[in-house]
Amino acid sequence: MTATKHAAGLVVVRRIAGEWHFLVLRAYRNWDFPKGLIEPGEDCFTAALREATEETGLSALQFPWGDAHRETVPYAKGKIARFYVALAPSGEVVLSVSPELGRPEHHEFRWLRFEAAHELLPPRLTPILAWANELIGHP
């Protein structure tokens, strides 16, 4: 039996023109939130922040909802991802070149309202999106 792999990430939100938008990233045909595997000795929250910063270039993230989090159901051979919600009041998303890959990890990013994000994200992430939407107080 294989050990469960644990990942951590952020549901990054921003108000644009008075409406909440969610940051989603695309790698090939797959849409996701910024996330990655937890490194040895790293706690989930630190890993989530590190991965989001590496993948998006956003560094001025705020956590008005504290360390509230939700986890995905197991996927991809038992991997579980824990997500926190972060506010990005400013800053441009930059898809930097990953040193390991020699290219950006993601091909595209979008800031989307809830409905549009719900349409793009895979079913394993729709409960995370719905939870984050409720947490930020969006009906």
Pairing of β 6-16 and β 19-27: antiparallel
pLDDT, tens only, 45-83: 999 999 999 999 998 999 999 999 999 998 888 899 999
Mean pLDDT of the chain: 93
- Please check whether residue 125 is in contact with residue 72, taking contact to mean a CB–CB distance below 8 angstroms: yes
The size of the chain, in residues, is 139
Q: What is the mean pLDDT of residues 102-117?
A: 93
Contact 118, 127 (CB under 8 A): no
The helix (H) or strand (E) run that includes residue 132 is: helix 126-135
Residue 11 sits at the vertex; the CA angle it makes with 7 and 16, to the nearest 5 degrees, is 160
- CA–CA gap between residue 108 and residue 87 (Å, rounded): 20
Percentage of the chain surpassing pLDDT 70? 96
Residue 57 gets the label, from left (phi > 0), alpha (psi -120 to 50) or beta, of left
